[in-house]
A and B are shown apart, each in its own frame.
Chain A
Amino acid sequence: MLKDCAPGSTVRLANHSRVVRFAGKAYPSLPKFDNIEYGHVRKLVRFLGISVDCAAKYLPTVFKPEPKPKPSKTSGPAK
């Protein structure tokens, strides 16, 4: 995904995290686990300004068309 959607980006393994650099920005908190949860990828893409449409081609389950978070309902205004 990064190769195509963030050309020129680099990924470096630090001791505790992965550091991803792209377009003059650094994202130093990507976990080192093999399976990275969706939220980390969403944040990485948002923070580095990577095209969501491009990312969705590679990760369609992470970037669904118009992903909507599940709203939590309020119980009504306090009296």
Chain B
Amino acid sequence: MSEAIPLHPLVFTLQNAIEGCGFLAGITTYGKAVMEQDENEQWWMYGVCPGAIAAGGKTTNEAFLNFRNRYKDVLFDLAEECGSFLAFRNATEAFFKAEDPEESARWETALEVVRRSGSALPEPFTELPRKKAEDFPVGIQIERLENKKGSQLRPANNIQDSMSQAA
């Protein structure tokens, strides 16, 4: 018997290059979020890690796009307010690590429901790649790009922004 899935556990990857006062920071974020549709049929992506962020849209892809832009806006503000790379790195890590415990519990419950439902996900989530939650490396990498040597700058370091269904 199929089970309604009101809340979807997601994992996502975002890569940004942010200019600050005298530094160029490369930020790669491996985060968690949940997505649900509200009473106005608007899709909302709520951050779990980082927890202090949300964005909505008419479609799941639009919600993800707005989430990505909201995240970028936070990084832009942090870059403007931090006078050094170290201060920016600390502030960005603090933002990422500010987990939302209630959202985290919702994510875990949603994951259990998805696992009970097997492969019977509703559209448009059937089109998303699936990633095993335990294998997804939640975390953030912040590095100073302008200090990298030529040999350390490689196309292989480029990562596409993406969201996946946690399974």
Chain A contact residues, CB within 8 Å of chain B: 14-17, 19, 25-29, 31, 37-40, 42-43, 46-47, 67-78
Contacts and interface: CB of A to CB of B under 8 A. Distances in A.
Nearest to B99: A47
A75 B46 contact: no
Interface of B: 1-7, 36-42, 44, 46-47, 51-56, 70-71, 73-74, 76-78, 80-81, 95, 98, 100, 102-103, 117-122, 125
A72 B102 CA distance: 22
Chain A's interface: helix, strand, loop or mixed, by majority?
loop
B37 A72 contact: yes
A24 to B, nearest CB: 10
Most buried by B among A15, A28, A31, A69: A28
Nearest to B81: A14
Contact of B54 (A26, A39, A71, A72): A39
A19 B77 contact: yes
A14 B95 CA distance: 15
Nearest to A27: B52
Contacts of B3: 74
Given A27-B52, A77-B117, A70 B103 contact: no
B52 A39 contact: no
